[in-house]
Structures are given as C-alpha cells and as structure tokens.
Structure 1
Amino acid sequence: MKTFLNIVYWFLIVIALIQFIPVDRTNKPIDQKINFVSVFQTPKNVQEILKKACYDCHSNETVYPKYAFVAPISWSIKHHINEGREHLNFSEWANYNQDLKKSMLENSAKSIKSYSMPMPGYIAQHSEANLTKAERVLLVNYFEEILKSGKY
C-alpha cells in the first residue's frame, strides 16, 4: 500500500510540474488580403460552416477551449492545430501556389464527403462542428465551384 501511495504522490507532483511547461496559443494576425473568405468573398452561410467546423484547426483564428490550458491535453491540442495548419490554413490562402491551392480544395472536398473532416475527436468535444448532410453538400459544392472556375 505504501508503494501505491508513493506512486500516486509522485504522479501528482509530475502532473503539477508539467503545468508550468508553456504552450504557445498565440494566433498570428489575420491579413484580410490573403484570407480565404475575403479572397473569394465567401457567402455568409458558407463562412459560418467554415468557422464552426474548420477554423479552429485550419486558420489563425483558433479559439482554445478551457481544457486546452491543462497539460498534457494542451500539448495534444496544439499538435493537432499545428498539423491542421500545415495541411491547410485558410488565413494564409493567398500565400499558397496554384497547385497547392488546387490540391487543398480537392482534399478538403474529399475529406468532407468521406466524413473524415471534421475529425470525430473534434466533433466529440464540439458538437456544433458535426455538420449536417446539407452543410457538407453546400461546402463541397462551394469548393468544387472554385475548382471548376480555375480561379483559386
């Protein structure tokens, strides 16, 4: 029993100490000249879908939930956000080359159709991000319209 209490004691000490390891949650400033919704003058209904289901991981407009301030959960969340921004960052849209933009739009449409985005783990914590079939169709159609126009 003494060994068990020792393990619990040291575990709690470690958990307390890791809270002091900082995680940078600073969002870069948004330049509207390169922001996806500004570049395409995206309709409000599509903007709302993007903001509720995509922007936390795929823009510089992340809104961190309260639990994102507790280590080691904060590390995992920050890792997911960094990874999401690497694949697609709507806030940096105009900085990408044409081939990359085309690929991002195609992959986004495919991911939305296959229900792999938003990620199930994200939806579990953010029920508003659970897109309806109609919202998915609207978003996919919007991305496909941009692809067809060739002006991405």
Structure 2
Amino acid sequence: MVARVEVPLGEGPGDRQRQQGAAPGGRTRVPAGDDPKVYAMCRTSKDGKQTALLVYNFNSTARNVTVDLCGTGIDTHQTPKDLYKGGSANAINGNTYTVSLPAYGFKILDSPCTTAASPARPRAVPSSWSRPCCRRRH
C-alpha cells in the first residue's frame, strides 16, 4: 500500500527544483492556471542541451492556456520552435505565455533556456528572491 502525502504548494521538493529549472533528463511542472484539465511541464534532454515546454488541454473544448514561466529557466524573450508541427510558435515576450489549444490538444515547443538559469547548470537562488526569472533580461 502506498501512502499519499499532501504537501502545500511552495513547500514540496518539486518547488525547489522549479526555482532552479529541471535537472538534465528531468521534468518540472509549470503552473497553467486553475483549470484542472490543463497541464504544462518543462522537459530537459538527458545531456541538458535542449529544453521543451509541453502544454496539454484535456478539455472537450478549445482553451487558451496561460503558463507562468518564472523559475523554469526558459528564456522569456524568444520565438520557440513547434517541435510537433514544425515552424515557429508565437513569440514569448514575458514571464507568462499563452497557447491556444484545440479540444484534447497539445503543443511541444523547443524553448531554450537563459544561460543564468539553464537547467543544465542549476544555480542557487537566494531566499530573498521569490521569483528568480521575473527580472527582465537586457
């Protein structure tokens, strides 16, 4: 029998990983709003050189899903590639990113990381920083 333990948001081991980005070969959940039928995560290749943002809609109707990129290490000023359909996706121009998905749809986006918060090189985050990636890159 497996015991289930409820951990308040912001206090679990995954939250620390989210602040530093996903470890090579790992995945980190990305906040995607209050709808329990949408889900987003950041995945990193085993060699730590490629990062992808995956966004899913498990609703029977289309949805616009807004994800919070703070703490993921994803570069918040870029135009990601659509790894499933090919071509470019809409540009990421800030700490949140909205994806339009059809019913039961998904997006897999190549989303390079910033050097400072790259999942390949996690960095220590001072406890005084509540949202480390929310500073604009110059």
The answer to whether TM tops 0.5 is: no
**TM-score range normalised by the length of the shorter chain:** under 0.3
Query: Which one has a larger percent strand, Structure 1 or Structure 2?
Result: 2
- TM-score normalised according to structure 1 size: 0.22
TM score, norm. by length of structure 2: 0.24
